[in-house]
Chains A and B, each alone.
Chain A
Amino acid sequence: MSVEDRPGEQAGGATVLLIEDDPQIAEEILAGLQREGYQTRHAASGTEGLQALRDLPPDLAIVDRTLPGIDGLTLIDTLHREGYTLPVLVLSALSSADERIKGLKAGGDDYLGKPFVMGELFARVEALLRRPSIAPETSLTVGPLTIDLITRKGLRDGREITLLPREFKLLEFMMRRPNQVLSRGMLLEQVWNHNPMRQSNLVNVHMGRLRHKVDGPGEGQLIKSVHGVGFILNDKP
């Protein structure tokens, strides 16, 4: 698949505040976010960033972990204490193994290690802006696709799909986030609870099997790959 498959328009003009002190990295990220249709603002230090956040809260903040002034994680603690609930994506050259990062992820925010693929950043920003539906439904429907959360069976246009437990888990995760790019890293982390450090074709193999069952012969493709990033489940082929 090629790069155009990435559906950026869904960003819907949300405002993203980037707090990053490296001007070159900031420039690339800002340009990328604008291309994806986001309104962007930029702060070059922790102090400046906190001020900008208080002045006019954005829909989402991207915060570098090591910043001049107030460091990223302290800034987030301050925000949470002051009652702000906006989602935050932390960027860092440090690895994701430590305790505070685990806490961050548990609190609904996210973390991305540098260096990263731009598509991965967009996928995570999008995921944070569109928190998945967690309503206690008994079934989920995306376009021609329906899964029953109780019988754990799938249907596509009346055709029954038999799914292994792990395939069901993956499909459910994707159906709660339709039309949204899901990176391999996010899938490994969130579906299998696995550290996404290694470049591996594990996710591709799992997805290949699921796709084989969801998109039968003659049917249009609902699951598509997004080059260099991951996969997307569309509601229309």
Chain B
Amino acid sequence: MISLSILRSAPVRLAFAFTIAVAALSAVLFGYVYEETARIETSSRRKYLESEARQAVLLPAPQLLELVKNRIATDLRRNSFEELIDADGHPVVGNLPSPPADLPFDGLAHRLTIATPENPLGREEVLLVARQRDDGAVVILGRDLDSVIALQEVMGKVLLHGIVPALILSLITGLFLAFKALERIKRLHVTIGRIMSGDLHERLPIVGSSDDLDRLAARINEMLDEIFDLIEDIRGVGDSIAHDLRSPLSLMRMRLERSMMESDALAARGIVAQALDDLDHMQGTINSLLRIAEIENARRIEFIKPTDLAEIAREVHDLFEPLADEKRITFSLAIDGPVIIEADADMLAEAIANIVDNAVKYTPAGGKVRIAVTQRAGVPLLQVHDSGLGIPASERSKVTQRYYRAGRTAKARGNGLGLSLVAAIVKLHGFQLHIADVPEGACVEIIAAPESIELTK
């Protein structure tokens, strides 16, 4: 089982593949050197034999006979062959047991396996050249290949002694590296197991070699940090929701209990009506959460068409004017002709209404709220500027998160979901939501252009 699973691991397989590759490469190299050595050695002998034969056929007959006899007599090591055959095909003089039948008289050296005086069974590899004289006689000259074969044997031994240890070494190195990598992967497995079993603070070990595995581990650690933050956020959201629902729930319970004990039917009804108000408030919170989730999960806007941003601003202004007036808030609108953008008009109106609702809610009586539709660097832009307490720079990124309510607003009744909804709608449109830095109050902007377009004041 264990050996099988090790064979299945990628680093071990890689080590084996590497060793096989080294072996194959060595074999090719070995073969090449071996063959090349023999070829070079043989080819010099070939040229020598061929030139000897060329000169021999030109000698006068008695001199040639003398030469052949002389060579045979002086060849103490028995490594050269000579044969003189007359025009009728009868051997005149020579040391070959029988003239080879398949040797053409072309003056070129041929490699043949023949019988020799030392090897009468015909197993010796030799180089032979045959050339015919003008008088019809044939001269055959030859050399054995003993020294070439000996050289090849030496070469083979040397190469084998080099390659086998190299192969073994590469296999050992490969396996060593593979097991080292496996060891790291095993440690990663163990850590991941711990994280999966709930230890979210655990992080993958980093060796510090900044190799692939290290970089991957670092990236996964970043992901874990992000997930951890998200989980914390969700936990926070859950706590806030539970808190926000608990207060009206307990209030509602007390009221219903009191209504049960109330003997006067009309008074009891009044209490029940109050309880229903509490219930409505809770329902509103849940509806908002569901709506945000729905928009956040939507991949695209279905009902997108050219929409006049200024017209929407005018309608929202019209809708909130009486509410602002009740609070003695100076509520102004600055629009300047149609500003056409691609959007879902209903959703965009919902977003702008939420911004304005927040602004009116959090601006003290006697303050100012202003809606403006303008262009900045040719990009359409809607601003809602209020003279409320403003949003501290440190909290600006948070207010668009789901269920965040800046400290300043805790007293006003609301479920803290307004700007999260705005952020979800703006994101779905591919627009930017920006909380601008203004000397007094807060200025929320919807910029009708994607993030990639940078706008600075």
Contacts and interface: CB of A to CB of B under 8 A. Distances in A.
Contacts of B303: 99, 102
Contact of A97 (B294, B320, B322): B294
Contacts of A113: 287
> Which of A2, A3, A97 gathers most chain B CB within 10 Å?
A97
B281 A206 contact: no
A199 B323 contact: no
Given A2-B269, A102-B303, A227-B273, A197 B288 contact: yes
A24 interface: no
Interface stretch (B62-70, B105-113, B115-123, B346-354): B346-354
Contact of A194 (B290, B323, B350): B350
Contacts of A84: none
B405 to A, nearest CB: 15
A166 B284 CA distance: 26
Nearest to B318: A166
Interface residues of A, number: 27
Interface residues on B, range: 20 to 34
Nearest to B346: A195
A127 to B, nearest CB: 20
Interface of A is mostly: loop
A97 B287 contact: no
Nearest to A169: B318
A202 B316 CA distance: 11
A198 interface: yes
A163 to B, nearest CB: 13
B150 interface: no
A198 B284 contact: yes
Contact of B322 (A3, A115, A193, A205): A205
B306 to A, nearest CB: 17
Given A2-B269, A195-B346, A228-B280, A202 B294 contact: no
Interface in B233-282: 266, 269, 273, 276-277, 280-281
Interface string A190-210: 001111011111100110110
Interface in A208-237: 208-209, 227-228
Contacts of B302: 98-99
B357 interface: yes
Nearest to A210: B322
A179 B276 CA distance: 25
Interface string A78-107: 000000000000000001011100100000
B350 A195 contact: yes
A117 B280 CA distance: 8
Given A192-B315, A194-B349, A95 B294 contact: yes
B134 interface: no
Contact of B291 (A193, A197, A227): A197
Nearest to B272: A3
B114 interface: no
Contacts of B315: 192-193
A201 B323 CA distance: 8
B190 to A, nearest CB: 44
The 4 closest A-B pairs by CB, nearest first: A199-B284, A205-B322, A195-B350, A99-B302
Interface of B: 266, 269, 273, 276-277, 280-281, 283-284, 287-288, 290-291, 294-295, 302-303, 315, 318-323, 326, 346-347, 349-350, 353-354, 357
